[in-house]
């Protein structure tokens, strides 16, 4: 993939983040999400690519745009790169609607066929940073994984921080982690940000464990490829319909343990813009005179380059034709 595409994609997440940030704290999740989706879809039109949404807003009959299988980009010639897109225009709709911590707009990009086509179901996940890569195993107990990561990081278990979604289904997991003596960061939403934090320097997070969304798992795996971290996942189906959908998408072994390379492989990019303040990114700042400030991260697995970008936007100025 052309490295310049990464900077084109950041314009897409910036547009989505600015659009939904206007709804921050207003208690309207649907309007915030719709604003992000609409802005992201329009921004894709300026990018020269033959793009296909493989992780998106749902099936075609469930979403008016950015649905799975939708073609995006401006294919001006036959040489336009064929890319698969995994996206979440607003990861953390509740966070945005309540003015909470860590809502982002996010895109992951890969060459055609390099992302797992994950159904909209749950996924059991584990993620860590580069120092513990190869040491985690979703088939092992949380206690075993915590000790393995602590050893790899040369930390006492009591200094390790594990991030977990605060859900009733995690009651036993939380109890076991507390029994080890490790610290826990319970979050209400946004497990892409949480997974990335496990590999982000100075985030204060060392390990992610627990069940979240499967589509978000693919996006997280792409980020981990760029950061040099590790990720594993296993689909957790809620009903037979979800199992049937997975089979339709080409997943034959429904109990398979997916490694990071099976979720996202090849040359991948990860791009995110903060909507509200979080451990990774600052949120959108609405400034005087119709201006805004954004904070984004752009990562490429091919080089391991990580760029953080602060940009000022004049929202009142009409673009010149």
Rounded to a whole number of angstroms, the CA Rg of the chain reads 19
Helix (DSSP H) and strand (DSSP E) numbers for the chain: 9, 14
Distances (CA, A) of 86 to 103, 116, 146, 181, 261: 17, 10, 30, 36, 15
Residues with Cβ < 8 Å from 202, sequence gap 6 or more?
none
What does DSSP assign to residue 214? H
* CA distance linking residue 91 with residue 32, whole number of Å: 11
* Distance of alpha carbon 284 from alpha carbon 18, whole angstroms: 6
Q: Computed from CA positions of residues 229, 261, 188, 64, in that sequence, does the dihedral angle turn out positive or negative? A: positive
Q: Can you give the pLDDT at residue 321?
A: 55
CA distance 25 to 28: 8
CA atoms of 3 and 227, how far apart (whole Å):
16
CA distance 279 to 87: 20
Can you give the pLDDT at residue 145? 98
Look at residues 246, 251, 210, 257 and name the one whose alpha carbon lies nearest to residue 121: 246
Q: What is the pLDDT of residue 2?
A: 73
For CA atoms 33, 19, 5, 320, give the dihedral sign: positive
Q: Which helix (H) or strand (E) holds 218?
A: helix 214-227
Quick one: pLDDT at residue 254? 94
Which domains does the chain possess? 4-112+269-314 (3.30.540.10), 122-264 (3.40.190.90)
Q: Distance between CA atoms of 219 and 255, rounded to whole angstroms?
A: 20
Helix (H), strand (E) at residue 123: strand 122-128
**Tens-place pLDDT, residues 32-52:** 999 999 999 999 998 999 999
- Give 10-residue mean pLDDT values along the chain (321 residues): 84 98 97 97 93 87 84 81 95 95 96 91 96 97 98 97 96 98 94 92 92 95 96 95 89 95 96 94 95 96 93 83 55
Q: Which of 32, 61, 39, 162 is nearest to 107 (CA)?
A: 39
User: Which one, of 193, 242, 218, 224, lies nearest residue 87 by Cα?
Assistant: 218
Q: Are strands 306-314 and 291-300 parallel, antiparallel or unpaired?
A: antiparallel
pTM of the model: 0.93
Furthest C-alpha separation in the chain: 62
């Amino acid at each position: 993939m052309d490295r310049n595409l990464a900077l084109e994609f950041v314009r897409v997440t910036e547009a989505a983040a600015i659009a939904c940030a206007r709804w921050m704290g207003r208690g309207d999740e649907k309007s915030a999400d719709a604003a992000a989706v609409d802005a992201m879809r329009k921004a894709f039109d300026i990018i020269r690519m033959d793009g296909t949404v493989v992780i998106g807003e749902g099936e075609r009959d469930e979403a008016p745009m950015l649905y799975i299988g939708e073609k995006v980009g401006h294919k001006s010639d036959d040489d336009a790169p064929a890319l698969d897109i995994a996206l979440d225009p607003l990861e953390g709709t509740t966070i945005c609607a309540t003015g909470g911590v860590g809502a982002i707009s996010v895109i992951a990009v890969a060459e055609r066929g390099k992302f797992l086509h994950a159904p909209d179901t749950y996924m059991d996940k584990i993620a860590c940073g580069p120092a513990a890569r190869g040491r985690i195993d979703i088939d092992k107990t949380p206690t075993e994984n915590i000790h393995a990561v602590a050893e790899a990081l040369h930390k006492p278990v009591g200094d390790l921080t594990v991030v977990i979604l605060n859900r009733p289904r995690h009651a036993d997991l939380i109890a076991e982690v507390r029994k080890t003596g490790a610290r826990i960061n319970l979050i209400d939403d946004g497990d892409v940000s949480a997974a990335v934090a496990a590999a982000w320097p100075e985030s204060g997070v060392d390990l992610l464990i627990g069940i979240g969304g499967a589509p978000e798992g693919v996006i997280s795996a792409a980020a981990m490829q760029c950061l040099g971290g590790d990720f594993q996942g296993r689909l957790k189906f809620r009903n037979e319909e979800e199992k049937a959908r997975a089979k339709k998408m080409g997943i034959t072994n429904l109990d398979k343990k997916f490694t990071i390379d099976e979720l996202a492989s090849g040359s991948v990019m990860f791009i995110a813009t903060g909507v509200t303040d979080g451990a990774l990114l600052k949120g959108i700042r609405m400034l005087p005179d119709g201006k805004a400030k954004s904070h984004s991260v752009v990562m490429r697995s091919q080089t391991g380059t990580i760029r953080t970008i602060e940009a000022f936007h004049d929202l009142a100025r009409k673009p010149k034709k």
